Amino acid sequence: MKHLSEEDLVLRYYGEPPSGGGDEEHLESCETCRANLVAMSRVLDAMNGLEVPEPLDGLSERVWQRIAPELAESPTRWTDWFAPRRLAAVGAMAALVIAAFLAGRVSQRQAQVAGLSGPVRERIMLVAVGEHLEQSQMILIELMNSNAKGTVDISEEQQRAQDLIGENRIYRQAALRTGDKSVSNVLDELERVLLDVAHSPSKLNSAEFEQIRQRIEADGILFKIRVVGSNLREREAAPVKGRAL
């Protein structure tokens, strides 16, 4: 007799749809599976008692006091990213970063001529790459979450992926120059995924769309982007020291 797997029991405990049929009949007739379900339920039920302490008084006020100074800028709208002014700013920033990096490679004096110290250059890069990763992540998440039934129109995501490819290349080259392997590797993988998305047909049937999703999932790129993004934020927040990108 084939018993219910632990996975089936977990699904059952949480009231999720079962992966196969016939669970109900089997449970009624199988002592072993019933005992297993009871044992598992007992552990999970016991966990409901995990106490969550009340936060210290004035949580909202403290949080507000800490974040308010950083809310000076209006929140970003998606469309803002593709406004001509914004694109021009991104281009200018990228040019500035490249110039600063090249200057930095040649000599410290030339870097001073470029008007940016090493730490400032690094901060600019951290912020720029962090934002770039966040934009890329949003596209990939949207693709992963799209409804794959029938024909899927990914023309909007393609356009955004196309826009990000150029930036990605610039940041990857900068990371390579500074020897930051973890960043350059992720940007390299991201570039391949963005190219895949940008060069696919804009209207996909569900099988073709599933292939794209599988490519994204197989590369684990979302996970890697999150990890590197988190590293960059940490470095951005850390006191400035002499280090590569």
Partner 1 sequence: MEQSDAAAVAQARDGNPDAFRVLVERHSHSVFRLAFRMTGNQHDAEDLVQETFLRAYRQLGKFDGRASFGTWLYRVAANCSLDLIRLRKRRQEQQAPVDEEGQEIAAVAAAEDPTPDRLAFSGELNRLLGPALERLSPMERTAFVMRHYEGMCIEDIGRALGVHAGAAKHSVFRAVQKLRQALEPAVSSAKS
Q: Which residues bind partner 1 (CB under 8 A)?
A: 6-7, 10-11, 14, 16, 39-40, 42-44, 46-47, 49-53, 55-56, 59-60, 62-64, 66-68, 70-71, 74-80, 137-138, 140-141, 144-145, 213, 217, 222, 226-227, 229-231, 233-234
CB of 35 to partner 1, least distance (A): 12
DSSP 8-state assignment for residue 16: P
Q: Which two tokens stand for residue 138?
A: 């949003």
Residue 101 beta carbon to partner 1: minimum distance, rounded to whole angstroms:
26
Q: What share of the chain is helix, strand, coil (3-state, %, to 5)?
A: 75, 0, 25
Query: Would you call 109 exposed, middle or buried from its count of C-beta atoms within 10 A (0-12, 13-18, 19+)?
Result: exposed
What DSSP string runs through 127-192? HHHHHHHHHHHHHHHHHHHS--SS-EE-HHHHHHHHHHHHHHHHHHHHHHHTT-HHHHHHHHHHHH
Our CB check for partner 1 shows the closer of 124 and 138 to be: 138
Report the residue number, 14 or 207, with the smaller CB distance to partner 1: 14
- Quick one: which of 132, 128, 73 has its CA closest to 96? 128
Q: Which residues pair with 203 in a beta bridge?
A: 153
Looking at the Cβ atoms of 10 and 244, the one nearer to partner 1 is: 10
Helix H or strand E segment including 204: strand 203-204
- Taking the complex as a whole, the smallest distance from the CB of residue 107 to partner 1 amounts, in Å, to 35
Residue 36 or 184: which CB sits closer to partner 1?
36
Least spacing, CB of residue 59 vs partner 1, in Å: 5
For residues 53 and 242, which CB has a smaller minimum distance to partner 1 in the complex? 53
Q: How far is the CB of 99 from partner 1 (least distance, A)?
A: 27
Minimum CB separation of residue 50 from partner 1 in Å reads: 6
Q: CB-wise, 112 or 230, nearer to partner 1?
A: 230
State which residue, 7 or 153, has the beta carbon closest to partner 1. Answer: 7
Do the beta carbons of residue 240 and residue 123 sit within 8 Å? yes
> Residue 191's Cα: distance from chain center in Å?
14
d(CA 78, CA 98): 26
Please state the closest distance from residue 234 (CB atom) to partner 1, in A: 7
**All residues at 6 or more sequence positions from 232 whose CB lies less than 8 Å from its CB, including other chains:** 126, 129, 130, 133, 183
